[in-house]
Amino acid sequence: MAYQRPKGTADILPNQIGTWQKIESTARKVFSKYGYQGIRTPMFESYDVFVRSVGDTSDIVTKEMYDFNDKGGRHITLRPEGTAGVVRAYVENKLFGPEYQKPYKVYYMGPMFRYERPQSGRLREFHQIGVEALNSESPQVDAEVIDMALELFRRYGVNNVKLVINSLGNAQTRDAYRQALIAYLKPHFDELSEDSKNRLYKNPLRVLDSKDEGDQEIVKNAPSILDYLDEYSSKYFEEVKHLLTKLGIKYEIDDSMVRGLDYYTHTIFEIMSDSQAFGGKFTTVCAGGRYNDLISQLGGPDGGGIGFGLGVERLILLMQQENPDFYSENDLDIYFAYADEEGNELAFELLHKLRNQGFKVDKDYEGIKLSSQIKEAIRRKSRYYVVLGKKEVDQQIIELTKVDGNTEQLTLEDLENHASNFLDNF
């Protein structure tokens, strides 16, 4: 029987991993500039962490979570998103005392799990890169987080994106808007999709986020949440917009954007692309927002937070279209080919010596023809190759050859002890 990976998962193979590693290292460099440090939380949490934070009416909880009872009878969930686990860790480890910076800035990378229909760029096990700025409520922090997200896409060579923002206000805003939205939708109840009928009285804002075409037509004329912002929420949103403009960041306002998770308040945003990777249709590639009540809901202080997350699989689809040359590093510094047994033995010794100096070197171990070894050097994208045989062993002189054909002659002693001089200057 040939075993296969579970549906909705993918093997990340050696010829793909370089791109993943460069995406992650680029993110670490960008986040570090803004004062963020890494955090790693468990891949599974108590079911209640997500029900309490994400919301029991969200699609994640009602349809998509991988949850189960473990052998001790505990209700466990594979994490469907990163924010709730980070906030739980922040609260549990009391990272909000006076000895800690405010905002407390962290980033994470790793696998998430959602049980949904697998499609291109959306798997049941997917990988997310995200940030959280915790225990601070400031329009400047909101603008900085958005600026950092956009810089990340510039570093990835993806410039054809647009920023869409909205405000969900505070609890008072949401309560007032909730009643207005229910009043608007009630006359259309029979026309709504089954999901939206179920959401109407539990969480009507989720109707605005429906993917059903009939629902989308109905909510086109729904009241705008921006008309229900109280004075504080309105001033807060105006300041965020002002700061984005000062930073030269272009944006669009979409007052129907609510995001799929219940914990959001005030500023929310999405970065979208209409790349041909998504058929030319605007698709969200990064999303986030502020969540001022989440920390206290999970037992922490009454402090706000804001963050974003982006899916790596979807990002790679976008980069393959927009910046296919993002990862083009050479696989090897030198590939040693050998013409006879003496050359084979010398090549093996040189591997050890040069690897100890930090060089990436390799050779054939199967005894293939010399011409095939040289082809392998080219296939492996080695910067140089060296052919070794009895002649080179006797004379202690070798030829360092670039794959484009240029050749430099040097002694074995120079290669062993001063390789960096030749590799950097040749």
d(CA 378, CA 408): 18
The answer to whether 82 is a known ligand-binding residue is: yes
Residue 128 annotated in ligand binding: yes
C-alpha dihedral (147, 153, 158, 159), degrees to nearest 10: 10
236 marked among binding-site residues: no
The rounded radius of gyration (Å) of the Cα atoms in the chain is 28
309 is in an annotated binding site: no
Q: If DSSP states are collapsed to H, E and C, what string results for the chain?
A: CCCCCCCCCCCCCHHHHHHHHHHHHHHHHHHHHCCCEECCCCCEEEHHHHHHHHCCCCHHHHHHCCEEECCCCCEEEECCCCHHHHHHHHHHCCCCCCCCCCCEEEEEEEEEECCCCCECCECCEEEEEEEEEECCCCHHHHHHHHHHHHHHHHHCCCCCCEEEEEECCCHHHHHHHHHHHHHHHHHHHHHCCHHHHHHCCCCHHHHHHCCCHHHHHHHCCCCCHHHHCCHHHHHHHHHHHHHHHHCCCCCEECCCCCCCCCCCEEEEEEEEECCHHHCCCCEEEEEEEECCCHHHHCCCCCCCEEEEEEEHHHHHHHHHHHCCCCCCCCCEEEEEEECCHHHHHHHHHHHHHHHHCCCCEEECCCCCCHHHHHHHHHHCCEEEEEEECHHHHHHCEEEEEECCCCEEEEEHHHHHHHHHHHHHHC
- Please indicate if the annotation marks 385 as binding a ligand: no
Q: Is 156 annotated as a binding residue?
A: no
Residue 115 has a CB neighbour count (10 Å cut-off) of 15
Establish whether 81 is an annotated binding residue: yes
Is 383 among the annotated ligand-binding positions? no
Q: Is residue 263 a known part of a binding site?
A: yes
Annotated binding site: 81-83, 114, 128, 132, 259, 263-264
Annotated binding site for L-histidine: 81-83, 114, 128, 132, 259, 263-264
